[in-house]
Structure 1
Amino acid sequence: MNVDHGYRPYVPDVVFPCLNEAGALPAVLTRLPEGYRAIVADNGSTDGSAQIAADHGATVVHVPQRGFGAAAHAGLEEATADVVCFCDADASMDPADLPLVADPVLAGGADLVLGRRRPTSRGAWPVHARVANTALSVMLRRRTGLALHDLGPMRAGRREALLALAITDRRFGYPLEMVTKAADAGWRIVEVDVDYAPRAEGTKSKVTGTALGTLRTIRDMREVLAR
């Protein structure tokens, strides 16, 4: 794995927000495309995730402020590549698919690419989470005018432009605020299909793993839409 921390204009950095993903990280980090650099933004894991990430060659950023957005943004700030990808660390998404979201940005054909999740099995996406995603997608279309179907946990954009959006949410509303601010700025936003599989055994989504987690996510995202 490439661990060069210098400026890297042609090969993306990949931010993995992480909270207790020890069971998934080895499979995730060994699936990175050639040359892509992993940045694991550890949000206070107690299961050794940070050490596992370091042992697999990832750059580890320790993020004391709790929240998905806090971890994601810290990883973005740590990145040095021109193009930065984001990907869940729970093995539900295959890092081998990262070029699908990165290549259109690298080629200059899009400013922000979202991976539209396509479940690989019935158990990959719980019903309550899918219903919530549909409702949020409708609200997002009304807010932005874009025909988007998914908030795209796997995504890519240019680092400096993403930082210039000045995203303020540090909870689960971070991905949504990125899209709304990008839309307001006139970015070219596109979706591409990516596989979505069941999470690694023994892991649970902090966002959609339970109905309560889903409701908390909807709350955070509604606050973003109301701003």
Structure 2
Amino acid sequence: MDQAASAASANATSGEVASLRREYRLAGLRRSDLAADPVAQFRRWLSEATAAELPEPNALVLSSSDGLRCSSRTVLLKAFDGRGFVFFTNYGSRKARDIAACPQVSLLFPWYALERQVGVIGRAERISVGESLAFFASRPQGSRLGAWVSQQSAVINSRTLLELKWEEMRRKFAGGEVPLPDFWGGFRVVPREVEFWQGRENRLHDRLRYVRSTTGEPWLIERLAP
């Protein structure tokens, strides 16, 4: 393809993306709709996402930084309560190294089919070994073996190495329970801000944000311009 044809193709593709557009009309979000607590409101929306049979309703985008560069990836929410939002990982992974360097992170739950998203800003901290062990014991055996196999985020030569290591671990633990690796466990993100976003027509979206109060009330609720 010559340079002119390549440029024309690129422009056509760019134009196609620019023309992708839809109006958001499914719902609105009023201050009076909200629970007093963001975790209670999150539970409502997660229940609705689950009832709507969205794929992986507990999937979230975790964004972190090592102080020099930012990175994002999808992880799965595995627990939440008034203390925060919990996910699990290898403590040697890039995300864990980022958190060690800079524990301030953001989470984003993108529920596109419901024209909704929830954003969380907060501090990530390791959960207790007991909490990690309780979750690890509930995982399928293959997932428990997988935690032992992968040096997450390390460069490897081929997938064959992973498969050989998995077979080695399967044989090693064939006679009993798969123990919790000391390099694997959970992080809890303690929220400082939680924003609930509902798409609206003409891009006049509803954005309502919970912010931890310093004046005695647990949470302040603010409406943000779209």
Q: Which has the larger radius of gyration?
A: 2
TM-score of the two chains, using structure 1 as the length reference:
0.24
TM-score of the two chains, using structure 2 as the length reference:
0.24
